[in-house]
Amino acid sequence: MNKEVISDKQGIAILFLFLVGGSSIYAQGIEAKQDIWLAFILGILLVFPMTLIFARLHHIFPDKDLFDIVEICFGKFIGKIIIILYTWFAFFLASDILVTYGQFIKIISFPEMPQIIPEIVLAILCIWGIKEGIEVLGRFSGFFLNIPIITLVIIIILLIPNMDINNFRPVLSDGIQPVLEGAFTVFIFPLVQLVVFTMIFSNFETNGSPYKVYTTGLLTGGTYLAILSITNLLVLGIHTVVSSYYPTYTTISRIDIGFVLQRIEIIITITFILGGFIKICIFLLSMCKGITKLFGFTDYRFIITPASLLVLNLSYNQYKSVMYYYEFSIHTWPYYHFPFYVIFPITTWITAEIKNKYLY
């Protein structure tokens, strides 16, 4: 298989779109209520050590991805088991995100259209994107990087008259517990999902590139989402934010400049779709690379289409409704995926450090 090398700028762009795209229509950390800003600060601080672990794994094992690393650290048998688990993890999340986009498009724009239709369209685009390779996805992300940033600036400027600083008050009215719960939510979705890049990144420009890519991507993406969630809070108030499926979409619908500038929710939809395309591509690519590693194939591209069809099939049967999806996301998903986000990477890192010190 040809080496796919991306520049630091392209890597940061992919991480940024990955983080902000799929989360741009939501408000993370709402468990913290009016203390969302504290939840984001704590959430980013919690994820930062994990990104250093991800980067350290790339540094210890250059030109290797996570699937190669677990086999080196744990041997063929245990390594294969972990690869199977991570392949399932990527498979499930690719389907989960595809469902999110199908539900959003159906609810917001085409309520009479079967949800599977937008999912099929997006899946076809992702098949094309993955077959082009990570380098093309990097160039795509770098080209469209400014769209979410410009969109956020426009939203903030136009919504200033609708903001109420009193929505921040009172600070810590319910104590620190809600802030910790909000920080955990921010930590799980979407920040620590950056673990998926350990499965697809292997070749960087320099030895220090993994640290630069992961930390810069986390800080820029996390800051963007924090500002967006705070904007939702200032405009809507915590009660409306909590009761909305898509609070950012509701927030932007409040823009009304002299009955001339109205209904510009499309600007956040563009960011959502761009990021969704990248996010689904990344998880699909991880799934395909896992399958390739399991069966000893030399290239992942020939299994992209059948793998994508499997994801599409799961997405069609995965959730009964958007309410069921939210129930699962809140009460089950964080704990179901916690081992993949935290326990396995930390265990792999500790084992890698021991092997690097005593065996190499």
pLDDT per residue over 89-120, tens digit each?
999 999 999 988 888 888 888 888 888 999 99
Residue 335 lies in a domain: no
Q: Could you tell me which residues come within 8 angstroms of residue 274 by beta carbon, excluding any fewer than 6 positions away? A: 17, 21, 144, 147, 148
Placement of tokens 């250059």 in the chain: 62
Look at residue 211 and tell me if it is in a domain: yes
Phi–psi pair at 5, nearest 5 degrees: -110, 130
Which segments in the chain show pLDDT lower than 50? none
The answer to whether residue 338 sits within a structural domain is: no
Confidence (pLDDT) at 106: 86
- Predicted pLDDT at 326: 73
pLDDT digits (tens, 9 = 90+) for 214-253: 999 999 999 999 999 999 999 999 999 988 888 998 899 8
55 neighbors 214 (Cβ within 8 angstroms): yes
The first and second tokens of residue 213, run together, are 């890519």
For position 18, what pLDDT does the model report?
95
**Domain count within the chain:** 1
Residue 350 forms part of a structural domain? no
CATH number of the domain bearing residue 91 = 1.20.1740.10
Q: Is residue 351 part of a domain?
A: no
CB 251 within 8 A of CB 175: no
Question: What pLDDT shows up at residue 259?
Answer: 64
Q: For every residue of 187-219, which 3-state class applies, written as one string?
A: HHCCHHHHHHHHHCCCECCCCCHHHHHHHHHHH
**What pLDDT is recorded for position 111?**
84
- Domain-embedded: residue 360: no
What gap in Å lies between CA 325 and CA 136, rounded to an integer? 32
* Contact in structure between 214 and 13 (CB atoms under 8 Å): no
Nearest to 136, CA basis, from 15, 21, 14, 220:
14
Q: Which residue segment(s) compose the domain that 61 sits in? A: 8-327
**280 part of a folded domain:** yes
- Is 339 contained in some domain? no
